Amino acid sequence: MSTSNPQAVTLNVNGVPYPVAIDTSRTLSTVLRNELGLTGTKEGCDDCECGACMVLLDGRPINSCSYLAVQTQGREVTTVEGLASQDDLAPLQRNILAAGGVQCGFCTPGMLMSATALLDENPTPTEEEIRIGLSGNLCRCTGYARILDSVIQTSVEINS
């Protein structure tokens, strides 16, 4: 058994510094949801399989269910709450809604984070590159086609 001895750390999430005292064994997803109230990040499998917990660490996707929260200190975490501006959804969010890429919605935050990182790195991905980019995200509702469509549409908008 690990002894309970909280570490005081500051987590930077969506540009906001959050000073917290947390056990070292806490994963980022549980701290985001239960300490910071950022419940957009979902826990599906809690085993690095499903991608519902995907967040960005310095702009690159990680499974937050399997990443220790204290290890993110000094780095920037972006969650789904960080995508929209005050008044507007991000283009990818608008497009996934318009394409019908959201059904139960549980996978959606993770999909959005993976696709955001993909488009930041590669604004003109091929369909195969999109499939690889989203390969760590499971969806049991949509059959993926409409999610793919929304990423393609966003890519077209970025480049027009």
Site residues, another protein (CB under 8 A):
1-3, 5, 7, 23-25, 27, 46-49, 51, 54, 57, 60-63, 66-68, 70-71, 73-74, 114, 117-118, 131-133, 135-137
Task: Report d(CA 53, CA 22) in Å as an integer.
Answer: 19
Least separation in angstroms between CB 45 and another protein: 10
Comparing CB distances to another protein, the nearer of 34 and 73 is 73
Residue carrying the six token digits 């969010």: 93
Task: Report d(CA 69, CA 50) in Å as an integer.
Answer: 19
- Parallel, antiparallel, or unpaired for β 54-57 and 16-22? unpaired
Estimate to the nearest angstrom the gap between the alpha carbon of 80 and the chain centroid: 6
* Sequence-ordered list of residues with C-beta below 8 angstroms from that of 118, at least 6 positions apart, any chain: 125, 129, 130, 133, 134, 151
Comparing CB distances to another protein, the nearer of 34 and 97 is 34
Least separation in angstroms between CB 28 and another protein: 10
Comparing CB distances to another protein, the nearer of 25 and 34 is 25
Least separation in angstroms between CB 30 and another protein: 11
SS3 state of residue 90:
coil
Comparing CB distances to another protein, the nearer of 57 and 141 is 57
Least separation in angstroms between CB 150 and another protein: 18
